[in-house]
């Protein structure tokens, strides 16, 4: 089974990709804010026995918006994303706070192909990539003209 990396706004992109090509195993990267909007797709993923690896970057809110205009509106309700398999009676869960834990979880997820895996990766609220910093800087210029 081929592992495919997808950057999607939620699990619906991974769901569609795996339905379109059952030999594909999506590796889904999603922020916690976006996951709260579309993460219920894991129910459909469990129902149909699909097996994506879902990495939820948990920084407690909307990291794309914080650099442009920060405030309480960027903080979201705290979920225990790694506990979702218990609710769905399907999937394998990982809660991650260190690089070593992430490496182990990725290795174990790659082997566990029976169901989906969800990896909740805890990161700092303002820990964003250089690419996201550049993008939000340009967006900020457009918004605050």
Q: For 49-59, what is the mean pLDDT?
A: 95
What is the DSSP annotation of 25-55?
EEEEEEEHHHHHHHTTHHHHHHHTT---EEE
Q: Give the per-residue pLDDT at 13.
A: 81
Q: Which of 1-10, 12-21, 58-67, 136-145 has the lowest mean pLDDT?
A: 1-10
pLDDT for residue 94 is more than 70:
yes
CATH number at residue 66: 3.40.50.970
- Neighbouring residues of 36: CB distance < 8 A, sequence distance ≥ 6: 76, 77, 79
pLDDT for residue 10 is more than 80:
no
Contact 121, 57 (CB under 8 A): yes
Contact 118, 51 (CB under 8 A): no
Task: Give CA–CA dist 7/54, Å, rounded.
Answer: 10
Contact 135, 109 (CB under 8 A): no
Task: Give CA–CA dist 80/100, Å, rounded.
Answer: 20
Confidence of residue 4 (pLDDT cuts 50, 70, 90): low
Number of domains in the chain: 1
Task: Give CA–CA dist 55/44, Å, rounded.
Answer: 17
Share of the chain above pLDDT 90, in %: 52
Could you list the residue range(s) of the whole structural domain that residue 27 is in?
Answer: 2-143
């Amino acid at each position: 089974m081929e592992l495919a990396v997808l950057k999607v706004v939620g699990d619906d992109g991974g769901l569609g990709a795996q339905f379109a090509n059952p030999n594909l195993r999506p590796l889904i990267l999603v922020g916690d804010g976006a996951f709260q909007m579309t993460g219920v797709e894991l129910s459909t993923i469990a129902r149909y026995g699909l097996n994506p690896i879902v990495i939820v970057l948990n920084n407690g809110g909307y990291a794309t918006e914080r650099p442009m205009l920060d405030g309480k509106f960027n903080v979201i309700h705290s979920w225990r994303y790694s506990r979702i398999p218990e609710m769905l009676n399907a999937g394998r869960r990982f809660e991650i706070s260190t690089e070593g834990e992430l490496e182990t979880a990725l290795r174990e997820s790659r082997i566990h192909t029976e169901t989906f895996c969800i990896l909740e990766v805890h990161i700092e609220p303002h820990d964003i990539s250089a690419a996201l910093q550049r993008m939000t800087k340009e967006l900020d210029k457009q918004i605050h003209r």
